Amino acid sequence: MSARLVLICALGAVLVASSVALVYVQHVRRELFMELKGLEQERDRMQVQWGQLQLEASTWAAQDRIEGVAIDKLGFRVPAPADVVQVRR
């Protein structure tokens, strides 16, 4: 009779340990899932920011803008045909 009682107690202990392990694993899974969602939101925010930076860079490098800055701020001008000299090798 006592061997049967020991077996029942051992099975009960295993059941309790298994239940506690299950709860712990579920808790860790939820924490990792929340971290994943946070990282995905950060990735999405960074992708939007990257697109905005690319648009800004293309705007700053536009040929019309560069030409306007060269004329207005630096005083550049297109040379007259008489001022152009071709150098041959």
In tens, the pLDDT along 11-62 reads 999 999 999 999 999 999 999 999 999 999 999 999 999 999 999 999 888 8
Buried/exposed 17-55: b ≥16 CB within 10 Å, e otherwise: eeeeeeeeeeeeeeeeeeeeeeeeeeeeeeeeeeeeeee
Q: Rg (Cα) of the chain, in Å, rounded?
A: 36
More confident residue, 13 or 64: 13
Q: Is 80 a member of any domain?
A: no
In a domain, 36, yes or no: yes
Please state, in angstroms and rounded to a whole number, the distance separating the CA atoms of residues 32 and 25.
Answer: 10
What pTM does this model have?
0.59
Residue 87 belongs to a domain = no
Tokens of 14: 């295993």
Determine the structural domain holding residue 57 and report its residue range: 2-74
Residue 89 lies in a domain: no
**Which of the four pLDDT bands, split at 50, 70 and 90, describes residue 1?**
low
Number of domains in the chain: 1
